[in-house]
Amino acid sequence: MRLRIVAADFAAELRILSRSKGVLFWTLLFPVMLILIFGAIFSGIGEMEYELFVQDLDQSEASAQFLDSLESTGLITITKVNITSDVDTYIKEENIKRLLIIPEDFSEVIYLAQVINDYNHSVNLTFHYDQSEQSNQAVSSIISSILRQMNMQVTDGKTVISMTGVETISGEFSFIDFFLPGMIGFTIMQTCIYGSIERNTKYRKDGILRKMLTTPITRTEWIVSKMLYQMFLSFISAVLIIAIGIIVYQLNIVIDVYFFILVISTSFLFTGMGMVVGRFVKDEESAGMAGGVITFPMMFLAGTFFALDEMPLVLQYVARVLPLYYVNEGFRNSMIYLQYDDALFHTGITVIMGILFFIAGIVLTKWKEE
């Protein structure tokens, strides 16, 4: 074996690597991006605090000590509320993810058991929670753990203090029900952004955009036709995902006017975004890199796979400036939660962004080489 030949070929491969921005990205920058994103998401999970709304009907020293015990875990922040209307209505209007109700006889039952050794009475706390939020399982476990400790202290293990969980979203939903709307938004984003960037880059490299100047078609007409094509692909992808969900997972969702508006506006939004980005991509090898820089942060930070309140607070603020967040929430509120006020809000934001990026795409797409 001739080491000189091996070394020369190895050096040639390194030169090719250094000249290929796309390969450099997927080989070096992409793993770095992933570890930074996942590190930011998961590094603060064990240190997070969950806000727990509490209606303390007992207003006693015993209930105050119980709430102090919850806060002493360092995982729960208590916010006291005074609900005078129907609990379900209040939760929906205030968009509360978790609410604990302490009944009026909380301290009385503890007194009877601890002082008089009367274990014939019991008290039941009510934990209202949104089952779509995975973090609520952790909060429920924390509350149950504190209650077990109290039962040990009061009765040496007999259960006089218990808790009942009440789901705040009607219907029987599985993880796939909550995951699927995010997958629809994510798939549309991927299809539209990558399709737009790669097409514009290829057309520019092949001189097709320059030749468009000799045709009667305008930039606006050309962009609209491309957006309609991407919208067609988006509907096919969305219908396919839903069909698989229904057939394989017995999906339980609602398809309404918001669904169609969201698919259309999301297609225009991300196609326009792809065209804006594609305006600054000079070669095909950079197209994948540019698409990845945009899509991967949104994929992981916009609530596609992870519930927003499971991430550190700073990332929750970041998520709320990402277009995909409003797309995902719009689909979930219309298809799963059936919270049409929230669906209207998130759909409205998506429509506005779609219009803005559509206009930006028209303005920035140039047929003449600079």
Give the C-alpha distances (Å, rounded to integers) separating 325 from 36, 268, 303, 315, 317.
19, 16, 6, 12, 11
pLDDT bracket for residue 191 (50, 70, 90)? confident
* pTM score, whole prediction: 0.67
Of the candidates 186, 343, 349, the one whose C-alpha atom is nearest the C-alpha of residue 256 is 343
pLDDT bracket for residue 322 (50, 70, 90)? very high
State the pLDDT at residue 284.
64
More confident residue, 307 or 228: 228
Q: Is the pLDDT of residue 181 over 60?
A: yes
Give the C-alpha distances (Å, rounded to integers) separating 67 from 118, 126, 147, 153.
24, 14, 11, 16
Contact 96, 70 (CB under 8 A): no
First to last CA, the chain: 50
Q: Is the pLDDT of residue 35 over 70?
A: no
| pLDDT (average), residues 181-185 | 90
More confident residue, 331 or 111: 331
State the pLDDT at residue 40.
53
Tokens for 346?
A: 């998130």
Task: Give me the residues paired with residue 53 across strands.
Answer: 79, 99
| pLDDT (average), residues 330-349 | 88
pLDDT bracket for residue 275 (50, 70, 90)? confident
Share of the chain above pLDDT 70, in %: 82
Q: Return the minimum-mean-pLDDT range out of 61-65, 193-197, 343-347.
A: 193-197
pLDDT bracket for residue 14 (50, 70, 90)? low
Tokens for 247?
A: 């057939």
Burial of 221 (0-12, 13-18, 19+ CB in 10 A): exposed
State the pLDDT at residue 136.
80
Q: How many CA atoms lie within 13 A of 104 on its CB side?
A: 0
Q: Return the minimum-mean-pLDDT range out of 99-103, 299-303, 349-353.
A: 299-303
| pLDDT (average), residues 300-326 | 82
| pLDDT (average), residues 95-104 | 89
Contact 77, 116 (CB under 8 A): no
State the pLDDT at residue 218.
77
pLDDT bracket for residue 154 (50, 70, 90)? confident
Q: Is the pLDDT of residue 80 over 80?
A: yes
| pLDDT (average), residues 40-52 | 62
Q: Is the pLDDT of residue 37 over 60?
A: no
Q: Is the pLDDT of residue 95 over 90?
A: no
Q: Is the pLDDT of residue 106 over 70?
A: yes
State the pLDDT at residue 276.
86
Please state, rounded to an integer, the average pLDDT across all residues of the chain: 81
Q: What SS3 string covers the chain?
A: CCHHHHHHHHHHHHHHHHHCHHHHHHHHHHHHHHHHHHHHHHCCHHHCCEEEEEEECCCCHHHHHHHHHHHHCCCEEEEECCCCCCHHHHHHHHCCCEEEEECCCHHHHHHHHHCCCCCCCCEEEEEEECCCCCHHHHHHHHHHHHHHHHHHHHHCCCCCEEEEEEECCCCCCCHHHHHHHHHHHHHHHHHHHHHHHHHHHHHHHCCHHHHHHHCCCCHHHHHHHHHHHHHHHHHHHHHHHHHHHHHHHCCCCCCCHHHHHHHHHHHHHHHHHHHHHHCCCCCHHHHHHHHHHHHHHHHHHCCCCCCHHHCCHHHHHHHCCCHHHHHHHHHHHHHHHCCHHHHHHHHHHHHHHHHHHHHHHHHHCCCCCC
More confident residue, 336 or 283: 336
Tokens for 64?
A: 């105050």
More confident residue, 236 or 366: 236
Share of the chain above pLDDT 90, in %: 21
Task: Report the length, in residues, of the chain.
Answer: 370
Burial of 368 (0-12, 13-18, 19+ CB in 10 A): exposed
Domains and CATH numbers, the chain: 48-167 (3.40.1710.10), 175-364 (no CATH)
Q: Return the minimum-mean-pLDDT range out of 59-68, 266-275, 337-346.
A: 337-346
Of the candidates 226, 18, 247, 48, the one whose C-alpha atom is nearest the C-alpha of residue 136 is 48
Residues 6+ apart with CB under 8 A from 148: none
